[in-house]
Amino acid sequence: MPVLTAQNLSYQFADGDIIFQDINCTINHPRIGLVGKNGAGKSILAKLLAKQLTPTRGSVNCKMQIGFFDQHSEQQLDDSTTIAQLLGYERVLQALEKIAQGDFEQALFDTADQQWQLPETFSQQLKAMGLPDDHHILCSQLSGGQLARLRLWQLFNSDAKLLILDEPSNHLDTDGQCWLLEQLALFQGHVLLISHDYTLLQYVTHIWELSELGLKQYGTNFDNFLVQKDTEQRALSSQIHTVRKQQLEVQKQAQLNRQKAQKRAAQGNKLRASTSQAKVLLNSKKDSATASLSSSQKNQQQRQKKLSEKYTQLRLKQQQHQYQRFYLGNIAKADISKRSLVSVQNLTLPFGQQNEFSFTIYQQQKWQIKGANGCGKSTLLKVLLKQLSPSTGSVTINTALSYIDQHFTHLEPYLSPLQTLLQRCPHLTKSLAHTLLAAIGLKNSKANQTVTSLSGGEKMKLSMLCASQQQPTPLLLLDEPDNHLDFESKQQLAHALFEYQGSFLVISHNPHFIASLGITHELALDIEK
């Protein structure tokens, strides 16, 4: 029996662009994975199914409680929100604290509701998740991975029987990813998982693929889905080759028919000039030939039209699986002087690692910052940017910096991609900017939509494009750049960074991605003092 049914779902942006229409789907299997390239509309479909967003047309029916994990939910938190407030424990914990301090007002006992062990058990649960065990800590002080784990724990311990999880493994370190897999295995309800994480998708038994052609459902696991997709693409290429061959044959036959008609017409004119046959007979033959040619041309045109339509349809299907390349531009040859780009001496971070550390970055060096969630990786980048002050030590910067963070805080949400690129890179012409945006898949109306309407992967591509076009060539500070990207885009970004002639510092919990970047140096941070 289906737990959720959606009928004729359509969604249109305020500017009139339609991302998809007439989507029909039913959740009747416990473990479903939703995949598709960046910008296909997966997150919007997830929000529609979770009733977090109202469709332009269509309906969603679900009789059970839905738990929804939003990959951008950390941006919706107030800076003053504590861990206890986020999880809904604040009133009970405050009541227990006041009772412990000697306040025996009856209202406090009513609020506490016999939950005397809550402070201890809650502290233990936080520790088990690798989080600070102080429930007074602000959520804004947690790393992206710590906050994601906290929200996921809240969902798994809720009354929801259907979980719709949009990129839940983004920001999680290796321990967090293992914990997530354990929680999914223990969960007794239904799960719709939106992900580009190969390991996580091994958990599902059915695949939905969203593209510009609509939603296609596969009754198979992810590995078999990939095999089936490869088979489909091979068959599609074969069909396109056959149709193209037929088009050429029709064109060739049409040319032959025209040549024959011209030859017959020339012969008729010659006979007419010689008057060897009666004009009435010649005119009759001419009319017959003209009618025959007209009929033949009409048939050929109809066949050519059908073949052209078929070719267009097949090419459209093929293009859904041809991913745009990750564009880092034609970087000018780097200055390979021995002058350091960044020098950090005896640094202690305001959050995370408490031990002093030092390092120096030179041109053409590619650094990975390693460490578990909460150790201070993102904090270090903010210190380099002078957004935060170190507890001790000094930082010297001798180059331009370009920061791309996991939450895209550097992008103005209500500017268009075109406006963003021209604002960040004023030396570009409008024509060249359009060309560069088209190269990463943001062409036509996409280039003029607001940034807030872009998918996470599209925002990352735009961010990397802006960084690569800045002058002079900056040192890239990349905070989990592979998050939000589909499989092919991750590979393309890795290749682009491998070929990049400048320097960068990168944070990522994806070992396969890191292994492809040509890392030359590592900096390991530790939470423990």
Whether the Cβ atoms of residue 208 and residue 6 lie closer than 8 Å to each other: no
pLDDT digits (tens, 9 = 90+) for 386-416: 999 999 999 999 998 999 887 788 899 899 9
Mean pLDDT over 78-104 rounds to: 87
Do the domains 340-524 and 4-81+139-219 match in fold?
Answer: yes
Q: Is the pLDDT of residue 184 over 60?
A: yes
Q: Is the pLDDT of residue 19 over 60?
A: yes
Whether the Cβ atoms of residue 515 and residue 493 lie closer than 8 Å to each other: no
Taking the domains of the chain in order of start, what are their residue ranges? 4-81+139-219, 83-137, 247-321, 340-524
Q: Is the pLDDT of residue 87 over 90?
A: no
Q: Is the pLDDT of residue 323 over 70?
A: no
User: Who wins on pLDDT, 419 or 290?
Assistant: 419
Residue 314: pLDDT band (50, 70, 90) is: low
Least confident window among 26-30, 58-62, 225-229, 286-290: 286-290
State which CATH number among 3.40.50.300, 3.40.50.920, 3.10.100.10, 3.40.50.2000 fits the domain covering 4-81+139-219.
3.40.50.300
pLDDT digits (tens, 9 = 90+) for 108-152: 888 888 888 988 888 888 888 878 888 888 888 888 888 999 999
What integer best gives the mean pLDDT of the chain? 85
Whether the Cβ atoms of residue 285 and residue 268 lie closer than 8 Å to each other: yes
Q: Is the pLDDT of residue 98 over 80?
A: yes
pLDDT at 354: 74
pLDDT at 443: 81
Q: Is the pLDDT of residue 13 over 80?
A: yes
pLDDT at 483: 83
- 19 to 13, 45, 56, 488: CA distances (angstroms): 8, 10, 11, 21
Helices (H), 320-409: 377-384
> From CA 41, how far away is CA 22, in angstroms rounded?
13
User: Who wins on pLDDT, 15 or 179?
Assistant: 179
pLDDT digits (tens, 9 = 90+) for 452-508: 888 888 888 899 889 888 877 889 999 998 888 888 888 888 888 888 888 999 999
pLDDT at 15: 78
- 390 to 40, 177, 178, 386, 413: CA distances (angstroms): 41, 30, 32, 9, 30
> From CA 48, how far away is CA 61, in angstroms rounded?
11
163: number of CA atoms within 13 Å, CB side?
27
> From CA 320, how far away is CA 110, in angstroms rounded?
58
pLDDT at 527: 64
State which CATH number among 3.40.190.10, 2.60.40.10, 3.10.250.10, 3.40.50.300 fits the domain covering 340-524.
3.40.50.300
> From CA 504, how far away is CA 485, in angstroms rounded?
19
